[in-house]
Structure 1
Amino acid sequence: MSQSTTRARRLGRSLELLLMRIKQHQSPNASVRSPDFIADVDTGERREVDIGIHVPTANGETFIAIECRDRRAQQSVE
Protein backbone atom coordinates (compact mmCIF):
# COMPACT_ATOMS: atom_id res chain seq x y z
CA MET A 1 0.00 0.00 0.00
CA SER A 2 1.40 3.38 -0.95
CA GLN A 3 2.15 6.07 1.59
CA SER A 4 -0.53 8.38 0.10
CA THR A 5 -3.16 5.62 0.34
CA THR A 6 -2.27 4.95 3.98
CA ARG A 7 -2.43 8.69 4.75
CA ALA A 8 -5.83 9.03 3.03
CA ARG A 9 -7.19 6.10 5.07
CA ARG A 10 -6.06 7.74 8.31
CA LEU A 11 -7.67 11.05 7.30
CA GLY A 12 -10.89 9.23 6.39
CA ARG A 13 -10.91 7.44 9.74
CA SER A 14 -10.82 10.79 11.55
CA LEU A 15 -13.95 11.84 9.66
CA GLU A 16 -15.67 8.53 10.52
CA LEU A 17 -14.96 9.02 14.22
CA LEU A 18 -16.17 12.64 14.13
CA LEU A 19 -19.45 11.66 12.48
CA MET A 20 -19.88 8.83 14.96
CA ARG A 21 -19.46 11.22 17.93
CA ILE A 22 -21.91 13.74 16.47
CA LYS A 23 -24.56 11.06 15.95
CA GLN A 24 -24.09 9.71 19.48
CA HIS A 25 -24.89 13.15 20.89
CA GLN A 26 -27.98 13.56 18.71
CA SER A 27 -29.53 10.25 19.74
CA PRO A 28 -28.18 8.95 23.06
CA ASN A 29 -30.22 5.71 22.80
CA ALA A 30 -28.60 4.85 19.48
CA SER A 31 -25.99 2.16 19.14
CA VAL A 32 -23.20 3.50 16.92
CA ARG A 33 -20.58 1.15 15.46
CA SER A 34 -17.58 2.04 13.35
CA PRO A 35 -17.01 0.05 11.28
CA ASP A 36 -20.25 -1.92 11.09
CA PHE A 37 -21.23 -4.91 8.96
CA ILE A 38 -24.55 -5.61 7.25
CA ALA A 39 -25.88 -8.31 4.95
CA ASP A 40 -26.11 -7.38 1.26
CA VAL A 41 -29.81 -7.54 0.30
CA ASP A 42 -29.05 -9.17 -3.07
CA THR A 43 -26.24 -11.61 -2.29
CA GLY A 44 -26.47 -12.06 1.48
CA GLU A 45 -22.72 -11.38 1.68
CA ARG A 46 -21.39 -9.42 4.61
CA ARG A 47 -20.61 -5.79 3.68
CA GLU A 48 -18.71 -3.18 5.65
CA VAL A 49 -20.06 0.33 6.18
CA ASP A 50 -17.99 3.08 7.76
CA ILE A 51 -20.58 3.91 10.42
CA GLY A 52 -23.71 1.98 11.37
CA ILE A 53 -26.31 3.66 13.57
CA HIS A 54 -28.99 1.47 15.17
CA VAL A 55 -31.82 3.48 16.74
CA PRO A 56 -34.46 1.64 18.79
CA THR A 57 -38.04 2.55 17.82
CA ALA A 58 -41.52 1.45 18.87
CA ASN A 59 -41.62 -0.84 15.81
CA GLY A 60 -38.15 -2.37 16.21
CA GLU A 61 -35.10 -0.55 14.95
CA THR A 62 -34.11 2.08 12.41
CA PHE A 63 -30.73 1.51 10.76
CA ILE A 64 -28.65 4.30 9.20
CA ALA A 65 -25.47 3.54 7.26
CA ILE A 66 -22.88 6.24 6.59
CA GLU A 67 -20.08 5.89 4.05
CA CYS A 68 -17.21 8.37 4.12
CA ARG A 69 -15.75 8.84 0.64
CA ASP A 70 -13.35 11.21 -1.02
CA ARG A 71 -12.80 9.75 -4.48
CA ARG A 72 -12.46 11.33 -7.91
CA ALA A 73 -13.46 8.26 -9.92
CA GLN A 74 -16.70 6.29 -9.67
CA GLN A 75 -16.37 3.33 -7.28
CA SER A 76 -17.84 -0.16 -7.48
CA VAL A 77 -19.52 -1.93 -4.56
CA GLU A 78 -16.33 -3.85 -3.82
Structure 2
Amino acid sequence: MRDWRKFELLIAAIEKTLLPLGAEIKSPDHLPDLVTGQKREVDASIRFKVGSTPILITVECRKRDSPQDVTWIEQLATKKESIGASTTVAVSSEGFTKAAEELAGRKGIQTRILTETTGSDAAKWVSEIQIALDLLQWRFVKIQANFDAGPGLDEALTFINGNIDKDDMNRPGFRGGPLG
Protein backbone atom coordinates (compact mmCIF):
# COMPACT_ATOMS: atom_id res chain seq x y z
CA MET A 1 0.00 0.00 0.00
CA ARG A 2 1.31 3.43 -0.90
CA ASP A 3 2.34 5.94 1.79
CA TRP A 4 -0.31 8.49 0.76
CA ARG A 5 -3.08 5.86 1.09
CA LYS A 6 -1.77 4.83 4.52
CA PHE A 7 -1.90 8.52 5.46
CA GLU A 8 -5.52 8.78 4.26
CA LEU A 9 -6.52 5.68 6.22
CA LEU A 10 -4.81 7.00 9.35
CA ILE A 11 -6.69 10.30 9.07
CA ALA A 12 -9.98 8.43 8.51
CA ALA A 13 -9.29 6.30 11.59
CA ILE A 14 -8.59 9.41 13.70
CA GLU A 15 -11.76 11.09 12.47
CA LYS A 16 -13.75 7.91 13.15
CA THR A 17 -12.78 8.00 16.82
CA LEU A 18 -14.13 11.55 17.07
CA LEU A 19 -17.47 10.93 15.35
CA PRO A 20 -20.76 11.54 17.13
CA LEU A 21 -23.05 8.59 17.71
CA GLY A 22 -24.79 7.61 14.46
CA ALA A 23 -22.25 9.25 12.13
CA GLU A 24 -20.66 7.18 9.37
CA ILE A 25 -17.29 7.55 7.68
CA LYS A 26 -16.27 6.10 4.33
CA SER A 27 -12.77 6.17 2.82
CA PRO A 28 -12.49 6.71 -0.03
CA ASP A 29 -15.92 7.84 -1.20
CA HIS A 30 -17.35 8.86 -4.56
CA LEU A 31 -19.94 11.63 -4.44
CA PRO A 32 -22.04 13.02 -7.27
CA ASP A 33 -21.21 16.47 -8.57
CA LEU A 34 -24.38 18.56 -8.18
CA VAL A 35 -23.86 20.24 -11.57
CA THR A 36 -22.43 17.53 -13.84
CA GLY A 37 -23.69 14.40 -12.06
CA GLN A 38 -20.23 12.84 -12.42
CA LYS A 39 -18.70 11.06 -9.44
CA ARG A 40 -16.06 12.99 -7.51
CA GLU A 41 -13.64 11.11 -5.27
CA VAL A 42 -12.91 12.35 -1.76
CA ASP A 43 -10.38 10.80 0.59
CA ALA A 44 -13.09 10.38 3.24
CA SER A 45 -16.68 11.42 3.80
CA ILE A 46 -18.53 11.77 7.07
CA ARG A 47 -22.32 11.69 7.11
CA PHE A 48 -24.72 12.28 9.97
CA LYS A 49 -27.91 14.12 10.80
CA VAL A 50 -28.48 17.09 13.03
CA GLY A 51 -32.17 16.90 13.77
CA SER A 52 -33.67 16.12 10.39
CA THR A 53 -30.89 17.83 8.41
CA PRO A 54 -28.29 15.62 6.71
CA ILE A 55 -24.70 16.84 7.08
CA LEU A 56 -21.83 15.94 4.74
CA ILE A 57 -18.23 16.60 5.73
CA THR A 58 -15.41 15.70 3.38
CA VAL A 59 -11.81 15.06 4.35
CA GLU A 60 -8.95 15.55 1.89
CA CYS A 61 -5.36 14.58 2.68
CA ARG A 62 -1.96 15.42 1.25
CA LYS A 63 1.27 13.71 2.22
CA ARG A 64 3.83 15.86 0.45
CA ASP A 65 7.31 17.24 1.14
CA SER A 66 6.28 20.89 1.40
CA PRO A 67 3.47 23.01 2.86
CA GLN A 68 0.32 23.18 0.76
CA ASP A 69 -0.46 26.47 -0.96
CA VAL A 70 -3.59 28.35 -2.06
CA THR A 71 -3.92 26.29 -5.25
CA TRP A 72 -4.96 23.17 -3.31
CA ILE A 73 -7.31 25.19 -1.09
CA GLU A 74 -8.93 26.75 -4.19
CA GLN A 75 -9.44 23.27 -5.65
CA LEU A 76 -10.98 22.02 -2.39
CA ALA A 77 -13.28 25.04 -2.12
CA THR A 78 -14.59 24.40 -5.64
CA LYS A 79 -15.04 20.68 -4.99
CA LYS A 80 -16.78 21.39 -1.65
CA GLU A 81 -19.32 23.58 -3.42
CA SER A 82 -19.73 21.16 -6.36
CA ILE A 83 -20.62 18.19 -4.15
CA GLY A 84 -22.63 20.14 -1.57
CA ALA A 85 -20.43 19.43 1.45
CA SER A 86 -21.18 21.35 4.62
CA THR A 87 -17.49 21.64 5.29
CA THR A 88 -14.19 20.19 4.15
CA VAL A 89 -11.25 19.27 6.35
CA ALA A 90 -7.86 19.60 4.64
CA VAL A 91 -5.09 17.55 6.25
CA SER A 92 -1.46 18.06 5.29
CA SER A 93 1.61 16.23 6.54
CA GLU A 94 3.73 19.37 6.11
CA GLY A 95 1.32 22.18 6.88
CA PHE A 96 0.04 25.11 4.85
CA THR A 97 1.38 28.41 3.63
CA LYS A 98 0.07 31.49 5.43
CA ALA A 99 -1.96 32.47 2.33
CA ALA A 100 -3.48 28.97 2.18
CA GLU A 101 -4.51 29.18 5.85
CA GLU A 102 -6.14 32.59 5.27
CA LEU A 103 -8.02 31.42 2.18
CA ALA A 104 -9.16 28.22 3.91
CA GLY A 105 -10.66 30.30 6.72
CA ARG A 106 -12.63 32.41 4.23
CA LYS A 107 -13.86 29.39 2.27
CA GLY A 108 -15.05 27.35 5.28
CA ILE A 109 -12.29 24.78 5.04
CA GLN A 110 -10.74 23.54 8.25
CA THR A 111 -7.03 22.78 8.16
CA ARG A 112 -5.18 20.12 10.11
CA ILE A 113 -1.49 19.28 10.28
CA LEU A 114 -1.03 15.73 11.46
CA THR A 115 2.51 16.15 12.76
CA GLU A 116 1.40 19.07 14.95
CA THR A 117 -1.85 17.60 16.26
CA THR A 118 -1.93 16.80 19.96
CA GLY A 119 -4.46 15.07 22.15
CA SER A 120 -5.65 18.43 23.47
CA ASP A 121 -6.12 19.64 19.86
CA ALA A 122 -8.24 16.60 19.11
CA ALA A 123 -10.25 17.15 22.29
CA LYS A 124 -11.16 20.66 21.04
CA TRP A 125 -12.69 19.13 17.91
CA VAL A 126 -15.08 17.12 20.06
CA SER A 127 -17.92 19.03 21.66
CA GLU A 128 -19.43 16.00 23.35
CA ILE A 129 -18.23 12.49 23.98
CA GLN A 130 -20.89 9.81 23.74
CA ILE A 131 -20.48 6.30 25.04
CA ALA A 132 -22.55 3.40 23.78
CA LEU A 133 -23.04 0.55 26.23
CA ASP A 134 -24.38 -2.84 25.27
CA LEU A 135 -26.26 -4.48 28.11
CA LEU A 136 -24.72 -7.90 28.56
CA GLN A 137 -26.46 -9.05 31.75
CA TRP A 138 -29.46 -8.03 33.80
CA ARG A 139 -30.97 -9.04 37.09
CA PHE A 140 -33.83 -8.02 39.32
CA VAL A 141 -32.70 -5.64 42.01
CA LYS A 142 -36.03 -5.37 43.80
CA ILE A 143 -39.46 -6.85 43.30
CA GLN A 144 -42.25 -5.61 45.46
CA ALA A 145 -45.81 -6.91 45.45
CA ASN A 146 -48.75 -5.45 47.33
CA PHE A 147 -51.89 -7.53 47.65
CA ASP A 148 -55.31 -6.52 48.89
CA ALA A 149 -56.88 -9.00 51.26
CA GLY A 150 -59.58 -10.96 49.57
CA PRO A 151 -60.67 -14.32 48.30
CA GLY A 152 -57.77 -16.42 46.96
CA LEU A 153 -54.98 -14.44 48.69
CA ASP A 154 -53.74 -17.45 50.65
CA GLU A 155 -53.57 -19.57 47.48
CA ALA A 156 -51.71 -16.78 45.60
CA LEU A 157 -49.13 -16.40 48.38
CA THR A 158 -48.62 -20.16 48.51
CA PHE A 159 -48.02 -20.24 44.73
CA ILE A 160 -45.57 -17.28 44.80
CA ASN A 161 -43.62 -18.64 47.77
CA GLY A 162 -43.38 -22.03 46.10
CA ASN A 163 -41.81 -20.46 43.02
CA ILE A 164 -39.20 -18.21 44.68
CA ASP A 165 -35.77 -19.73 44.10
CA LYS A 166 -34.46 -20.49 47.59
CA ASP A 167 -30.85 -20.09 46.34
CA ASP A 168 -31.60 -16.48 45.40
CA MET A 169 -32.74 -15.76 48.96
CA ASN A 170 -29.30 -16.81 50.27
CA ARG A 171 -27.29 -14.64 47.86
CA PRO A 172 -25.56 -11.48 49.14
CA GLY A 173 -27.76 -8.44 48.75
CA PHE A 174 -31.07 -10.35 48.77
CA ARG A 175 -33.48 -8.82 51.22
CA GLY A 176 -36.79 -10.35 51.98
CA GLY A 177 -38.09 -13.82 51.90
CA PRO A 178 -41.31 -15.72 51.63
CA LEU A 179 -44.45 -13.63 51.42
CA GLY A 180 -47.20 -13.95 53.91
**Greater radius of gyration (CA):** 2
Q: Judging by fraction of residues, say which structure has more strand.
A: 1
Which contiguous aligned blocks of 4+ residues in structure 1 show a shift greater than 4 angstroms? 74-77
Find the residue that maps to 1:23 and give its secondary structure. helix
Q: Provide the TM-score with structure 1 as the length reference.
A: 0.69
What amino acid is aligned across from residue 68 of structure 1 in structure 2? C
Q: Judging by fraction of residues, say which structure has more helix.
A: 2
Q: Provide the TM-score with structure 2 as the length reference.
A: 0.33
> How far, CA to CA, are the matches of 2:62 and 2:10 in structure 1?
14
Listed one character per residue, the Cα deviations across residues 12-55 of structure 1 (whole Å, up to 9, x for unaligned) are 11111111111111114211001111111221111111101112
Within 5 A, what are the aligned runs for 1:1-78? 10-27=2-19, 28-70=21-63
> How far, CA to CA, are the matches of 1:70 and 1:12 in structure 2?
6
> How far, CA to CA, are the matches of 2:8 and 2:26 in structure 1?
10
Instruction: Name structure 2 gaps, 5 residues minimum.
Output: 80-180
| Matched length | 69
Find the residue that maps to 2:22 and give its secondary structure. coil
> How far, CA to CA, are the matches of 1:67 and 1:54 in structure 2?
15
Q: Over aligned residue pairs, what C-alpha RMSD do you find? A: 2.5
